Structure 1
């Protein structure tokens, strides 16, 4: 029908009806509006749009709200606009749940059309189709990870991808407990954290370091591939105290056999997640207690705290750390946690990430783990 696009009439049709109702000619309306008759003819024919200024003028001329003509023009313009690429809606669905752009930047996915991107995501999450991907549309209720933030879940599956390709000997709890004792000597010099990956591998543990995705707030994970334990860490906080606490926390999960059925995902271990109160799940309380005791024996820490509180000098810190045979930053971390004073002894919280990454299987910080597929 002339003047219609997809059953949406051009604004000129309504203007003609108003002219007829008033018995006006186009020349009359052009005169009232103070515009050339040729401009009005173009508007009536749908060849020229109604600008906001003209909408106000038509409103005054016909004694109606200017929004009427603005809305008529907007509806007509939308009806004439081309349909968007179908990829837009499908990609928006994916991006609304998972950090797709960040996953592409990290090399976990290859930017492509929506259909190929969906297929990649299904493969990434070891699902048969996009509708089986955890937390996406209808699959959300089927997922055992329904309460896990999507960014953490993506990080977990990246750790899993890398761990599956690692070759380690059979896991030995006896070897791991022996390695824990040996690792004590590496808690003095930050550079010695490079030995951790080797020791864990010799015990049959697949140790993977993957940079956290933005806003994921994840510290570590423990799960099993068959009878082989996996420890994943993000080194989200690149500090010697946090590294040893998170590492020992995850090792305790391994020793207790946690994560065999469902991965244990640990986040905010420096905050509420690192406590030992009744609000923290029992297996997490136990792991936190063992981690704190490993960093600095709890009885020794308690004695030091009672003797020096509330004044802890630099000399006190260094002397106690030397006696405990750990880096001062590890003691500082325990003090900060106990006092809830995150400003104390900050200079001792040295970075260790580069030392750890020098020997560990890693992904992130500008490098992509080499995978076979």
Structure 2
């Protein structure tokens, strides 16, 4: 009768060792390695290498041992798989030790604040957590997946930015969108156009958080996922539009902490989805950026401006010189005075004074918390 061993046998070093089990079976049945070689047709050297763990125990050998020793081939192969997995994890652990410097280059407190890592994560564990977060196997894979594509992203600003922190924010936006993407219908451009027409009407809602949630639901009916992700320092991002597995995602921040900036950014990103589908990722700073040299950014800006202040009202907008006039125009358009004031400042380049004070300050991070 064969001896039974399990994965928790104390003589096994963390993982079952098929070679060790094989030697114990041979001892139990009083069979030498040379005799086993003769019975199986394998060389004594190969039997010895399997016992030492130097050679893998193949399915062919497992079936042969099943016939000779009575232990199922499945049992042998299960142990061999466990041994290889155990060895791979040891190799992985050694590799992670070499990734610590890379992981340490990210701002630690920021990673903790954004719940990417725990306070106790250090060394190899820190590297493992960060690789898991970016869903890559190594720093070189991270570079190919998250840094190299940034060269093709369209940005509406000329400021220097931190590519690692941009990657961090983009990954956070993906994570925020995952739940909504799971239930998103197929993208429908006609429904998105209709949603863009309706969005400015939501700006009069006193509860900005509720208005944003309504906007999320409205865009989701068009197959577009809208999420809010607080800005990461040194990224200068107000919003992004990108396609993820065939679903358009729009993510926005509260970069300027102004109501008009938030809604302008949402409309700007909707324009990219509608006008430049599946072409690239667009990372935007906001409507104060100099986009004249980029036709696609100019088109997105024009789209947002037209939806906030239709062309027929542009002359009336710029003629206004009083708060009362701005409020009156906003009432006529059915939008918040903050949006009209923001467009007035943009067109007149006057960012201070009584009219500019109509621009409502908000922090969506606080409101949505």
Give the TM-score normalised by structure 1. 0.62
**Match runs of 1:44-83 below 5 Å:** none
| 1:144/1:91 CA distance change after superposition, 3 Å | same
1:101 aligned to 101, 104, 109, which one? Answer: 109
Corresponding residue to 2:304 among 279, 283, 291: 291
Tell me the number of residue pairs that the alignment of Structure 1 and Structure 2 aligns.
Answer: 258
Tell me the residue number matched to 2:325: 316
2:336 is the alignment partner of 1:327? yes
Query: How far apart, CA to CA, are the structure 2 residues paired with 1:206 and 1:302?
Result: 35
Deviations, residues 316-342 of structure 1 (Å, cap 9, x unaligned)? 212222222211111110111122221
Given the superposition, is the C-alpha separation of residues 124 and 103 from structure 1 closer, same or farther in structure 2, using an over 3 Å criterion?
same
Does the CA contact (< 8 Å) of 2:147 and 2:164 recur in 1?
no
Residue ranges of structure 1 left out of the alignment (5+ in a row): 1-86, 359-364, 366-373
* Structure 1 pair 142–314 and aligned structure 2 pair: CA distance change class (3 A): closer
In 2, the alpha carbon distance for the partners of 1:263 and 1:283 equals: 12
Q: What is the match of residue 145 of structure 1?
A: 150
**Are the aligned partners of 2:100 and 2:123 in contact in 1 as well (CA < 8 Å)?**
yes
Counterpart pick for 1:174 among 190, 196, 215: 190
Q: Distance in 2 between matches of 1:141 and 1:103?
A: 17
1:271 aligned partner: 288
1:119 to 123, 128, 137: 128
- Maintained 8 Å contact 2:259/2:339: yes
Q: CA deviation at 1:146?
A: 4.6
CA contact (8 A) 2:241 2:273 kept: yes
Q: Does 1:129 align with 2:138?
A: yes
- Whole-Å separation in 1 of the counterparts to 2:310 and 2:112: 44
Matches within 5 A, 1:145-164: 145-146=150-151, 149-164=163-178
Distance 1:143 1:355 in 2: 30
Q: Could you say what secondary structure the match of 1:272 adopts?
A: coil
Separation in 1 of the partners of 2:279 and 2:126? 29
CA distance in structure 2 between the partners assigned to 1:158 and 1:150 by the alignment: 12
Which residue of structure 1 lines up, in the alignment, with residue 224 of structure 2?
A: 205
- Aligned-pair CA distance for 1:162: 2.4
Shift of 1:346: 3.7
Shift, 1:150, TM fit: 2.1
- Mapped to 2, the partners of 1:217 and 1:253 lie a distance apart of 19
Q: Distance in 2 between matches of 1:198 and 1:170?
A: 14
Q: Is the 8 A contact 1:95 1:101 kept in 2?
A: no
Alpha carbons 1:190, 1:352 under 8 Å: kept: no
**Superposed displacement of residue 357, structure 1:** 5.6
Structure 1 Cα separation of the partners of residues 146 and 340 of structure 2 = 44
- For 1:207, what is the secondary structure of its paired residue? strand
The residue that corresponds to 2:269 in the other structure is: 250
Determine if contact 1:248/1:291 at 8 Å carries over to the other structure. Answer: yes
Q: Secondary structure at the match of 2:150?
A: coil
Distance verdict in 2 for CA 1:188–1:235, change over 3 Å: same
Whether the 8 Å CA contact 1:194–1:355 is kept in 2: the answer is no
CA contact (8 A) 1:197 1:356 kept: no
Shift in alpha-carbon separation, 1:140–1:158, aligned structure 2, 3 A:
closer
Cα RMSD of the aligned pairs, angstroms, is: 2.9
Secondary structure at 1:133's aligned position in 2?
helix
Instruction: Name the larger-Rg structure.
Output: 1
Q: Are residues 181 and 266 of structure 1, via their aligned partners in 2, closer, same or farther at CA, if it must alter by over 3 Å?
A: same
Alignment of 1:329-368 (within 5 A): 329-344=338-353, 345-354=355-364, 358=368
Gapped regions of structure 2 (runs ≥ 5): 1-95, 153-160
